[in-house]
């Protein structure tokens, strides 16, 4: 993941409210909540049977990854929508795209995906962070969809968010010292408000703005907690490092800028190192 200190161009990390006058799926009240609070949840996407299919699919992917014996762990399935048909199909789910469209508009780019899989008794946290502070993209107009593969609750370390932090610009952070998935840790997080736990049933999603502070604790339970993050932006977002635009899907509409690649639907599921994506997205 790119560090902010490695970026070569100043980024616009401000929040731009969704202002679509005729949302098709979200209510005006939900649009207002997203603008004011920085998140929305829960939304039902997959029914219980479909959710079990998703879970079995991830189980198989993880087993394939482990069989390669190359040192990658349960967090390593990152950016493989371009080589894994099942991930591609989740990114293209019409119900998910309908939600995203009401926030960013009819032209939708999925530029990253990442399974965050906390195994039982996983000692790693995801420290409090703001997604867009990691990414060489400008302006910060990405909406993250967090799709629950397993049930996620406070017992198995679901994601929590700090409402309204998406409007406060970059928050000061330090390097995480405890076992952690990501290296940034927002300093003195308690001063920004009370956390809200994003408890989801398998098959449900939440949405959050890319500058909303969020994180999750180590998983103390006997249950796995896996979710798939799907990152969507409008074409006006510029990839400062071109490789970050090379692994995208133009999900709806068009890319009038010509910078975003369009990945066709892959055949099968390939997690081999040769297909490791050039760029990666960081719940």
Does 10 map to a domain? Answer: no
C-alpha to C-alpha distance for 260 and 250, rounded to whole angstroms: 8
Does 21 map to a domain? Answer: no
Q: With 50 as the cut, is the pLDDT of residue 4 above it?
A: no
Closest-CA residue to 24 (of 111, 89, 109, 94): 94
Task: Tell me the pLDDT band of 180, cut-offs 50, 70 and 90.
Answer: confident
Does 3 map to a domain? Answer: no
Does 50 map to a domain? Answer: yes
Q: With 50 as the cut, is the pLDDT of residue 42 above it?
A: yes
The mean pLDDT of 249-277, rounded to a whole number, is 91
Boundaries of domain holding 166: 26-275
Does 242 map to a domain? Answer: yes
Beta strands at 196-197 and 143-148: parallel, antiparallel or unpaired: unpaired
For residue range 73-85, list pLDDT tens digits in order: 999 999 999 999 9
Does 49 map to a domain? Answer: yes
**By mean pLDDT, which of 139-153, 168-182, 249-263 is the weakest?**
168-182
Task: Tell me the pLDDT band of 255, cut-offs 50, 70 and 90.
Answer: very high
Instruction: Provide DSSP, the chain.
Output: ---GGG--S-----------SS-SSS-HHHHHHHHHHSEEEEEE-S-HHHHHHHHHHHHHHHHHHHHH-SS--TT--BSGGGTBHHHHHHHT-HHHHHHHHHHH-S-EEEEEEEEEEE-TT---BEEEE-GGGTS-EES---EEEEEESS-B-GGGT--EE-TTGGGS-SPPEEE--SSBSSSEEETTGGGG---EE--B-TTEEEEEETT--EEE----SSS-EEEEEEEEE-TT-EESSGGGGTT-EEEES--TTS-S--PPPPSSB---GGG--SS----
For residue range 95-115, list pLDDT tens digits in order: 999 999 999 999 999 999 999
Q: With 60 as the cut, is the pLDDT of residue 7 above it?
A: no
For residue range 131-165, list pLDDT tens digits in order: 999 999 999 999 999 999 999 999 999 999 999 99
List the structure tokens of 21: 């006058």
Report the domain count for the chain.
1
| Cis amide leading into 42 (omega within 30) | yes
Buried b (16+ CB within 10 A) or exposed e, 229-242: bbbbbbbbbbbbbe
The count of other CB atoms within 10 Å of the CB of residue 69 is: 7
Q: With 60 as the cut, is the pLDDT of residue 283 above it?
A: no
CATH code of the domain covering residue 39: 2.60.120.620
Residue 233 φ then ψ, to 5°: -145, 160
Does 11 map to a domain? Answer: no
**Across the chain, what does the average pLDDT equal?**
93
C-alpha to C-alpha distance for 245 and 259, rounded to whole angstroms: 7
């Amino acid at each position: 993941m790119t560090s902010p200190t490695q970026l070569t161009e100043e980024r616009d990390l401000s929040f731009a409210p969704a202002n679509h006058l005729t949302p098709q799926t979200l209510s005006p009240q939900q649009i207002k909540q997203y603008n004011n609070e920085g998140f929305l949840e829960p939304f039902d996407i997959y029914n219980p049977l479909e959710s079990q299919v998703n879970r079995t699919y991830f189980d198989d992917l993880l087993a394939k990854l482990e069989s390669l014996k190359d040192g990658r762990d349960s967090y390593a399935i990152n950016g493989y929508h371009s080589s894994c048909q099942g991930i591609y199909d989740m990114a293209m789910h019409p119900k998910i795209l309908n939600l995203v469209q009401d926030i960013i508009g009819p032209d939708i780019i999925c530029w990253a995906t990442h399974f965050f899989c906390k195994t039982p008794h996983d000692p790693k946290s995801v420290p409090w962070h703001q997604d867009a502070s990691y990414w060489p993209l400008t302006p910060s107009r990405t909406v993250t969809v967090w799709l629950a593969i397993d049930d996620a609750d406070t017992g198995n370390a679901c994601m929590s968010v700090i409402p309204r932090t998406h409007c406060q610009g970059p928050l000061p952070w330090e390097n995480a010292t405890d076992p952690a998935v990501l290296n940034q840790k927002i300093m003195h997080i308690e001063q920004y408000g009370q956390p809200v736990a994003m408890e989801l049933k398998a098959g449900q999603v939440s949405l959050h703005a890319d500058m909303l502070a969020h994180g999750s604790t180590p998983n103390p339970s006997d249950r796995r907690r896996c979710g798939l993050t799907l990152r969507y932006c409008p074409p006006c977002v510029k990839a400062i490092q071109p490789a970050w635009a090379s692994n995208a899907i133009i999900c709806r509409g068009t890319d009038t800028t010509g910078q975003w690649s369009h990945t066709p639907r892959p055949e099968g599921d390939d997690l081999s190192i040769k297909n490791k994506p050039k760029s990666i997205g960081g719940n």
